[in-house]
Amino acid sequence: MTEDLCPEIKQHRKLTHPIHPLIQNRWSSRAMSGETISDDELNSLFEAARWAPSSYNAQPWRFLYAKRETPIFEQFLNLLVDANIMWASKAAVLGVTIARKNFERNNKPSVTHAYDTGASWQNICLEGTYRNLIVHGMEGFDYEKAKTVLEIPDDYAILAMFAIGKRGSKESLPPALQERDIPSPRKEIEEFVMEGKFRK
């Protein structure tokens, strides 16, 4: 629960401008230990999600999850593509993030349902970082199968899956994943921020 920079971040992530260490420290390893996590830890992750901002405070985010010690874990795991199953099988929790497409108060479409849900998701990532847990998002899964198996109604958009777990040794990953298991780089600010009108 320290906010010193972790070794991988120190080595691989150079900033142009200073930011809060919690935000700087977030990255998503795949090296999980196969241990469970406590309900208290999991609840704090969802509590963090709870306090994200959303348009009209509609809170469109919903999280479905399975703990590895329960029978339903296998069903969540089998939604994933093989390349994800390879490492996510050691997660403590697997989940699916969905968003209500229309406002509850008037059933009109919400432009920001996925955007707001992404904000909520980022809080989970950061609370996980704070707790030294791995939180890893995935779009490598069968969206249609998730909808059927988890009985997700049409009025919810299926956005992503996630794996949460305790850190394991990098050496336990298959060799190809070991190499990739470092914090990834980013575009320069000038590539995604524009003063005034849009420009390429």
Q: Binding to its own copies by residue 22, rule CB under 8 A? A: yes
CB atoms within 10 A of CB 92: 23
Task: Give 197: exposed, middle or buried? Use CB within 10 Å, 0-12, 13-18, 19+.
Answer: exposed
Q: Binding to its own copies by residue 102, rule CB under 8 A? A: no
The residue from 10, 11, 12, 53 that contacts its own copies (CB under 8 A) is: 53
Q: Nearest 5°: CA angle at 191, between 186 and 197? A: 150
Residues in contact with 57: Cβ distance below 8 Å, sequence separation at least 6, in sequence order? none
Q: Binding to its own copies by residue 32, rule CB under 8 A? A: no
Residue 99 gets which letter from DSSP? E
> By C-alpha distance, which of 121, 124, 133, 112 is closest to 44?
124
Range in contact with its own copies (rule: CB under 8 A) among 11-19, 30-38, 77-85, 168-176: 11-19
Nearest distance, CB of residue 6 and its own copies, angstroms: 13
Helix (H, G, I), strand (E, B) or coil at 118: helix
Q: Binding to its own copies by residue 33, rule CB under 8 A? A: no
Q: Binding to its own copies by residue 36, rule CB under 8 A? A: no
Q: Binding to its own copies by residue 184, rule CB under 8 A? A: yes
Q: Binding to its own copies by residue 125, rule CB under 8 A? A: yes
Nearest distance, CB of residue 179 and its own copies, angstroms: 15
